[in-house]
Amino acid sequence: MKSGVKIFLAVALIAGGAGVSAHVAMAHGGAKGIVKERMDAMGDLAKTMKQVGGMLRGKVPYDPTEIAQAAERLKQHGGSEMTKLFPDGSLEAPSEAKPEIWANWQKFEAFANDLSEKAGALKAASMDQSAVPAAFGAVGKTCKACHEEFRLKKD
């Protein structure tokens, strides 16, 4: 019961917080170069989050190995792999990045590092099913925190 509630919260957080499903469905035509690259990377993050979320909701069979792999994938996208996709002032349409990114670079970098850190914790938790929902929720929070601050509001 208790973990059921947690799972629900984690999934609700991802679905609402990261703007996953609706947003990815209308993927950005017309994006080019680095903007397209980072949108693709973000899209892969969203897809990976959905995959894990689906397992926590019982929509697809629960598989700790797949969760560990998904967590590794999320981890790889974070840190400098993410920040290198945001060269100074890269705001070409249809980017939804905010110029504040470059005025607050350290904070932006901290969110990107936090994603890798929380994804690493999810990977570490993957063999303990009772610990996965909270660890997954923590990853989702890093998406939401960065989006709230540095992505134009579309959600």
The CA angle 27-52-153, to the nearest 5 degrees, is 40
The position carrying tokens 């998904």 is: 70
136 binding ligand HEC? (CB under 6 A): no
Please report where in the chains the tokens 């979320």 appear, as a residue: 53
Contact 78, 55 (CB under 8 A): no
Q: How far is the CB of 10 from ligand HEC (least distance, A)?
A: 12
Residue in 13, 35, 121, 138 binding ligand HEC, rule: CB under 6 A: 35
CB of 108 to ligand HEC, least distance (A): 5
42 in contact with ligand HEC (CB under 6 A): yes
Q: How many CB atoms lie within 10 A of CB 135?
A: 22
Q: Contact with ligand HEC (CB under 6 A): which of 9, 15, 28, 51?
A: 28
| Least distance in angstroms from the C-beta of 2 to ligand HEC | 25
Candidates 10, 24, 70, 132; binder of ligand HEC (CB under 6 A) is 24
143 binds ligand HEC (CB under 6 A): yes
Q: Rounded to whole angstroms, how far apart are CA atoms 18 and 141?
A: 9
Nearest partner of 141 among 2, 33, 16, judged by Cα: 16
Binding ligand HEC by CB under 6 A: which of 46, 55, 67, 122?
A: 46
Question: What are the residues facing 97 on neighbouring strands?
Answer: 151
> Which pair of structure tokens corresponds to residue 71?
């967590």
Cβ atoms of 91 and 152 closer than 8 Å: no
Q: Does 123 bind ligand HEC (CB under 6 A)?
A: no
Binding site for ligand HEC (CB under 6 A): 18, 20, 23-24, 27-28, 35, 38-39, 42-43, 45-46, 49, 74, 82, 95-97, 108, 111-112, 115, 139, 142-143, 146-147, 150-151
